[in-house]
Amino acid sequence: MKGKSGKLPIVTRSLLTITIPVVVYSISFAPSLYMLLLLVRWFNPKSYIHFFLLPFLVFFNLLFTLVAITLISGSFAWLFKRKIGEGDYEITLRDKTVFRYALYCIFYRTPLKILNIINFLPLRYVLLRLAGLKMGKNCRLMGNELIEDPFVTEIGDNTLIGGYTIITAHLIEDKLKIKRIKIGNNCLIGGGAFIMPGVVIEDNVTVGAMSLVPKNKVLKKNKIYVGIPVREMGER
């Protein structure tokens, strides 16, 4: 698939990549800021009950902020990912797909970085699904992995993704190249593994920790792979 140039000039699109996120994140923070103002007005430093309740209310407000950012930002990521597909694209905002992809990355990766600090897995799963990740039953993430392009990534049933694993379905060479990644059922991806665009990992595969799976590589089912780049080491 090749991208198409749009009618908007590149200066306008550059401004939109700044303006749209500022507006959206301002909306995301508005309810929690209002609640914080109410809390400040309510708080009485002479009341022991207020001192006792204050930490709980602050924590609730923080949790509310995380939920608002995840849902609102994730919804915009879902909106922009709908018209992004696999293919090679010119690295310029003149390309409609690259423009959408830039906004998608802003709305997906900003809350993801926040959730990396506050490792709250239920919200992380919500964000990943809004961003387009297809996750099978009993799929397990550690909460510190990086799935860069969920909208073209699929993970099967009963699969475990180890901590600090990087799964990226895009590559920037002469162009921006996006290609789907599929990880099958009952797979084990060791911590720190790096999986590149176009990779297909069939069912019942183990990928060793710190291994590199190069682009377009197919890992056959019921096998163990390790190394940089990976090589078959035997049956699972």
- In tens, the pLDDT along 107-153 reads 999 999 999 888 888 999 999 999 999 999 999 998 889 999 999 99
- List of the chain residues with pLDDT < 50: none
Domain boundaries, the chain: 1-132, 133-236
Report pLDDT for 1: 57
Report pLDDT for 6: 61
The answer to whether the pTM exceeds 0.75 is yes
Report pLDDT for 143: 86
Class of domain 133-236: mainly beta
Report pLDDT for 118: 84
Report pLDDT for 46: 86
- Structure token digits, residue 186: 């009952």
Whether 134 contacts 159, CB under 8 Å: no
- H helices within 82-149, ranges in order? 96-117, 121-130
Report pLDDT for 2: 56
d(CA 88, CA 3): 8
Q: Is the dihedral of CA 71, 72, 75, 80 positive or negative?
A: negative
